[in-house]
Structure 1
Amino acid sequence: MTELLDLDEGLDPLGDLDSGDSQTATKNRAKVGSARPSSLLYTYGPGATMDLPSFTIMPAGLDTWEKIWARRGSVPTVPAPRLLDAVKVHLGPQVSELRPFPWAPKPTSHSKEGDDLGVPARVFPQWLRCTNCDMLAPLTRYAYRNTNPYRPDQARFEHEKCPGRKGKISKKPMPAVPARYLLACPDGHLDEFPYDWWVHEGAQCTEANIPSLAMHDQALGKGASATIECRACGLKRPMNQAQGEAGAAKIPRCRGRHPHLGLFDKDGCPNATKLMLLGASNLWFPATLSIIVMPEATAKTHETIAAELLKVVGQKRVEKYGNNLEKWREYLDEEESPLFDLPDDELAAAIAHLLEPPPSEEELAEQRRNFDPVSLLVPEWNFLQRDPLGKLHKADEQSGLVLSPPEGGIHPDLVDRHVTRVMAIDKLRKVNAVLGFTRIDEMERANDIGQRLVRLTRSGHPTWTVATEDRGEGIYLQLDEEEVATWEAKIESTDLWEAHRAAHERNFNARFSDTAKDVGPETRFRPARYWLIHTLAHVLIREMAMYAGYSAASLSERIYAWKENKEENRPAAAGLLIVTTASDSDGTLGGLVQLSSRVNLERAMSRALERALRCSSDPVCAHRTPKEPEEFLHGAACHTCAMASETSCERANRFLDRRFLVDLPGSVGLGFFS
């Protein structure tokens, strides 16, 4: 995924690419790096800071991406109506489509294909420090170098005629690196640290209007260890004074800046700021939704058809044509739109949806509050309850789903362990969409998505959002509902379960944002069956990685574990899907599908449960139970025995306990598989 460079406030994302072959070797180029689509979705999306070899950039908001797509005759979309409907709940009904990242594969390394595409980005932070003389200054004081079209990793900022620390002018330019301090607030604003203001303690320099600053940093990697010096008046001030609760009172309040959008909130921001280090893990948390595309979910709804109609005819014609179906047909025929072939009843229903008054902000907020992420899993669970039509069942072309039962049925030993359904997912398509992001608190912690979710566009009402399309394979495994319900009722009456519940409440109250205190902790606590199936998924991932040909980090889980909800007519679920997906391949190696066979799966599950009996950290791990004031959200589970990488786990290694899988010393009778 090509990154493009911005060196001015206008943010021309195409840079000097417009000059094409006429570029000379001395001209600066716009391309500065690359990243995989998955990393741009989960790690380096709009508003995040992305480290390049010599400086740091920030992918820009979606408004700027329109300039990229304008270079192409048409804009590709990612078909996923069910996911699009869920995105509309959070971002508004005006969202009409999901788009991939602006990227195209190159047939050869020297090919020009895709040179007109890329993700626009800004240089951020824009305060740099010379590595030779410690000069601290905005990037306008440095020279930009990026001359090799095939080595964008060599893009850099340099200090020309650097005097060094001893005043001797250097014969060659010295590299500059980003100054690594930032200010962030809980509402997602991010700003440069005001070094001039800091060293002069909010006053003006007595010797110069624009003083020369220096950053002396001798202990890299040890927090705020630098000292800022004004070379004009000689004042010095260490950065560690800005840390902690005492330091919070010394730094300025938030200015409401969104650097990825190039703007400040017009109403400002009342929040206090927090000192952040560049690259801190809590600087950017993505808010995403994902689905496994199922056949019945590929059918277009009235809402999605209405969105396509609006895109074709525009809002003015919607008001002009009203309910006049003949005028709609006439215009669609002139435009040669495929929507012309829709039956009258479907077209009329979509038009009626377009003519409905838009929901109010209160109605949208209510939709967001009532949104249940489980609703994205229910269609997948329902489809996986169906028996395949044959040995290899290809569901349909659009979903890309291909599944098959194990040859010879389920192994008797798995049946004895209450496994009722096994399915090999030979091919699947997973679609992931970006909603926005949060800072300091991840989205689940904030829980007030309407207020805390940082917008991706200047208006806050995007008409599209970014999505990735992954393809891969997997194994589906389902447990007997009656046995799970009986076990669950027993577990939820134990002292261990009460200890987990109390720890979760303490954790919730201690770590959730102040604006989310009206949310009940019990709404985020997972039932015992979730702990069971989640822990089983982790031990299976660790075991399957030894035989499937994939690393454990490339395997991920999808947990279907909820109690019956009669109000929503939703039956109970107890199953798991272990998948491996990739954005740049159609299907994968087949290692997981091979493990789903009758004998292989029984062996993998038996060994996984056997390994769960022991941990090198036992007996400490086996007896771990949270007690006040402890608030950890796992029991007998650690990185040695049951925890997985962050790419594998959907719950950040929370809600795990080996005692719910197998009987461990001191907790006999709790294990489902014992």
Structure 2
Amino acid sequence: MSDETRYVYNVAHAVDPLGDLEEEAEKATKHNRAKVGSARPSSLLYTYGPGAIMDLPQFTIMPTGLDDWDRIWSRRESAPPQIHAPRLRDVVRLMLRSPDVQLRPYPWQPKKHSRSTEGNDLGVPARVFPQWLRCTGCDMLGLVTQFDYRNTHPFRTDLAVFEHAKCTGRAGAGVRKPTRRTAIPARYLLACVDGHLDEFPYDLWVHHGQPCAQAELPALKMVDRTAGKGASALIRCASCDMRRPMNEAQGEAGRAKLPRCRGRHPHLDAFEPKGCGNETRLMLVGASNLWFPATHSIIVMPESKEEKESDLADRVRTSLGEKLAKYRNSLDMVRDLLGMPGGVDVTGLTDHDLEQVLQAASAPTDTPEEQEQKLRDWDPVDLLVPEWNYLLRDIIGPGVEDPTSGLALATRERGESLPAAITRVLAVERLRKVNALVGFTRIDDMERAGDLPRRLVPLTRTPRPAWTVATEDRGEGIFLQLDEGAVAVWEKRVEDSALWTLHRKAHDRNFERRFSETAGKIKPSSRLKPPRYWLVHTLAHVLIRELALTCGYSAASLSERLYAWPADGDRPPAAGLLICTTASDSDGTLGGLVQLSEPQRLEGVVANALRKAARCSSDPICAKRTPQEPEDFLHGAACHCCVMASETSCERANRFLDRRFLLDLPGSTLGFFQAAE
């Protein structure tokens, strides 16, 4: 096993759609148009990224690993574009244990009109998965090679389809003339907790692990008359007439009948070199726990002088590569190399400045041991601290705008009736948010800190990837800061309360049940969010629900960014929130959210949000909900009728919420806003 790859992989099976198209052109055939669908960058990052299964109108596909994407980029003479976000890039490098990782957008180029050809050489490579298909006419179950593929219309990718060319219908329906019938994916898969995914072995399943006694390649059928009711299908071998229902593979009892995991990563077309051996679980193609992205994001802030110098040195280092050490002492040669296409602009630097940059670029990188230590010590809050610090800066004049970062802030006066605990209001008129994908998990989501590293499925076969995919969104928002003194006093009172004790015990139970393998290494209390986080989080949710009524965006389009942590070493305490909406196009959003930051309008929004939070249609059950042994839910007085938000809005999957921390509800006197008043 070389240093360049860590998986067993057959290069002859490489996914290369454009290469396939070129081969078809040489043969003078026109049936393969390569592209089979489209998706927004945000959905490719959070829903259908590499290793996920995407539903197309007629079949399902899986975007491949980033190794195959390089074949798309390599067909262009120009260097692939990069997304400039040094702070996020450094964290991604730490997560991927690769010192040279760059952030790249998805391979896409807009067209001038519907029939233009620019951008035809760009796209996300994917393979058909699962590759077991079922004929809708006769129930034949077979591999994709047993069906015909048709995709002849260049502007109707929804017509791409696999067909059974000579379907004669189901038995008992009389003799029919062979006709073409659509084939759809067989919906069963096998997955394990370490992120491996495999086809379901239908032939071995129906024959109880033995070969068919009547045929070397048995004819299988999947009889399914109750679609949508779990594992309700029946697998039948038409060669030997053996039958076996799929519901035998369900549940705890069914796991013992399933084969052990082979360690397969279909998005990489590779297997773990040492295998896996974990228990497998029966999964459905459309299961929501089949793919959980592991992403990190930042709001891009203006860079300090030190950050700009560090970023320039890094770009010089990655641009020159091995040539840096060779031509380190020849400034003219370095300038020529950096002036080539895809290089770094250093024309404005004097020789002395360039020498300083080269000195910084030549500094030794961290050793693997140092990288592992940094990874163990890293806290997701580290991404938020620079944002918080910048948002607290004094703004001279009505506003400030930074064209490089895309951030535009405007001061807002506090309305007279705004709660005194809200001390600062900013209108974030424009912002740029960058999101990067570092891997994914299956079956269970990946916790950002302290989880098992092996659960994170890599995006490439190479152990040190050169890049990862990222998206760049633009939008607007409203920033609110809470009074730190009032929050600190309130937080101490909550920590001494019986309610907080019950929440803490519920979190311990949840952590130990969900992360049993890490429970011995990590104290559950270190993962429990402090009371101020519950406060800020609950406030953000009730504001999102109220803002959605008048800002012109749906509640699902609004998202929260929470700054809530106590003082820790050199890190100052924080208690504030940013509610924003973003879009992936270059124009950003329309300004409806920012308008609500005006004093009179914001007063009404906050007052209505707090008033509505005092009541829930599920009260008194919701208002008094408190986890008791053996319950382990991570919320209190919160439900979908009053506080909980959509998955796209909440950064914590509706955990750490309790209305009793906002207001005094019946039986509770821990409300922050009543205490502050």
Give the counterpart of 2:541 among 521, 525, 538: 538
1:454 aligns with 2:457: yes
The offset of 1:297, in angstroms, is 6.2
Q: How far apart are the structure 2 equivalents of 1:522 and 1:342?
A: 51
The offset of 1:225, in angstroms, is 1.1
Deviations 1:463-517 (A, max 9, x none): 1111100000000001100001001100111000111111111111111252564
**2:6 — aligned with what?**
none
The 1:344/1:652 distance shift into structure 2, 3 A limit, reads farther
Three-state SS of the structure 2 residue aligned to 1:111 is coil
**1:401 — aligned with what?**
407
The offset of 1:350, in angstroms, is 5.2
Q: What runs of 5+ residues in structure 1 fail to find an aligned partner?
A: 1-7
The 1:111/1:331 distance shift into structure 2, 3 A limit, reads closer
Structure 1 residues 255-274: aligned runs within 5 Å = 255-274=262-281
Residue identity opposite 2:126 in structure 1: A
Question: 1:16·1:29 contact (CA, 8 Å) conserved in 2?
Answer: no
**2:232 — aligned with what?**
225
Deviations 1:211-253 (A, max 9, x none): 1111111221111111111111111111111112211111111
Deviations 1:52-101 (A, max 9, x none): 11111001111111111123223111110111111111112433421000
Q: How far apart are the structure 1 equivalents of 2:97 and 2:468?
A: 11
**1:82 — aligned with what?**
87
The offset of 1:349, in angstroms, is 5.6
Q: How far apart are the structure 2 equivalents of 1:270 and 1:260?
A: 19
Q: How far apart are the structure 2 equivalents of 1:402 and 1:552?
A: 23
Three-state SS of the structure 2 residue aligned to 1:624 is coil
Three-state SS of the structure 1 residue aligned to 2:472 is strand
Using the size of structure 1 for normalisation, the TM-score is 0.93
**2:472 — aligned with what?**
469
The offset of 1:205, in angstroms, is 0.9
Structure 1 residues 212-361: aligned runs within 5 Å = 212-296=219-303, 300=307, 304-315=311-322, 317-321=323-327, 328-329=334-335, 331-332=337-338, 337-339=344-346, 341-342=348-349, 347-348=354-355, 351-352=358-359, 355=362, 358-361=365-368
Q: How far apart are the structure 1 equivalents of 2:142 and 2:56?
A: 19
Q: How far apart are the structure 1 equivalents of 2:205 and 2:448?
A: 32
Q: How far apart are the structure 1 equivalents of 2:58 and 2:589?
A: 35
The 1:458/1:346 distance shift into structure 2, 3 A limit, reads farther
Q: How far apart are the structure 2 equivalents of 1:113 and 1:473?
A: 31
1:56 aligns with 2:63: no
**2:218 — aligned with what?**
211
Three-state SS of the structure 2 residue aligned to 1:113 is coil
The 1:628/1:337 distance shift into structure 2, 3 A limit, reads closer
The 1:193/1:64 distance shift into structure 2, 3 A limit, reads same
The 1:296/1:120 distance shift into structure 2, 3 A limit, reads same
**1:5 — aligned with what?**
none
The 1:355/1:170 distance shift into structure 2, 3 A limit, reads farther
Residue identity opposite 1:133 in structure 2: C
**1:419 — aligned with what?**
422
Aligned residues: 660
The 1:96/1:350 distance shift into structure 2, 3 A limit, reads farther
Using the size of structure 2 for normalisation, the TM-score is 0.93
1:154 aligns with 2:159: yes
Q: How far apart are the structure 2 equivalents of 1:667 and 1:465?
A: 48
**Cα RMSD for the two superposed structures:** 2.3
Q: What runs of 5+ residues in structure 2 fail to find an aligned partner?
A: 1-11
**1:368 — aligned with what?**
375
Give the counterpart of 2:436 among 433, 436, 448: 433
The 1:271/1:530 distance shift into structure 2, 3 A limit, reads same
Q: How far apart are the structure 1 equivalents of 2:25 and 2:114?
A: 16
Question: 1:309·1:339 contact (CA, 8 Å) conserved in 2?
Answer: no
Task: Point out the more displaced range, 214-223 or 305-314.
Answer: 305-314
The 1:345/1:485 distance shift into structure 2, 3 A limit, reads farther
Q: How far apart are the structure 1 equivalents of 2:520 and 2:284?
A: 28
Residue identity opposite 1:163 in structure 2: T
The offset of 1:352, in angstroms, is 4.8
1:519 aligns with 2:522: yes
Give the counterpart of 2:509 among 506, 517, 532: 506
The offset of 1:34, in angstroms, is 0.8
Q: How far apart are the structure 2 equivalents of 1:439 and 1:532?
A: 31
Question: 1:529·1:561 contact (CA, 8 Å) conserved in 2?
Answer: yes
The offset of 1:309, in angstroms, is 2.8
The 1:351/1:186 distance shift into structure 2, 3 A limit, reads farther
Structure 1 residues 122-133: aligned runs within 5 Å = 122-133=127-138
Task: Point out the more displaced range, 338-347 or 207-216.
Answer: 338-347
The 1:42/1:345 distance shift into structure 2, 3 A limit, reads farther
**1:46 — aligned with what?**
50
1:175 aligns with 2:179: no
Q: How far apart are the structure 1 equivalents of 2:504 and 2:206?
A: 48
Q: How far apart are the structure 1 equivalents of 2:523 and 2:352?
A: 44
Residue identity opposite 1:12 in structure 2: D
1:661 aligns with 2:662: yes
Q: How far apart are the structure 2 equivalents of 1:507 and 1:84?
A: 33
Task: Point out the more displaced range, 339-348 or 185-194.
Answer: 339-348
Give me the identity figure in percent: 60
Question: 1:96·1:308 contact (CA, 8 Å) conserved in 2?
Answer: no
Q: How far apart are the structure 2 equivalents of 1:651 and 1:227?
A: 40
**1:121 — aligned with what?**
126
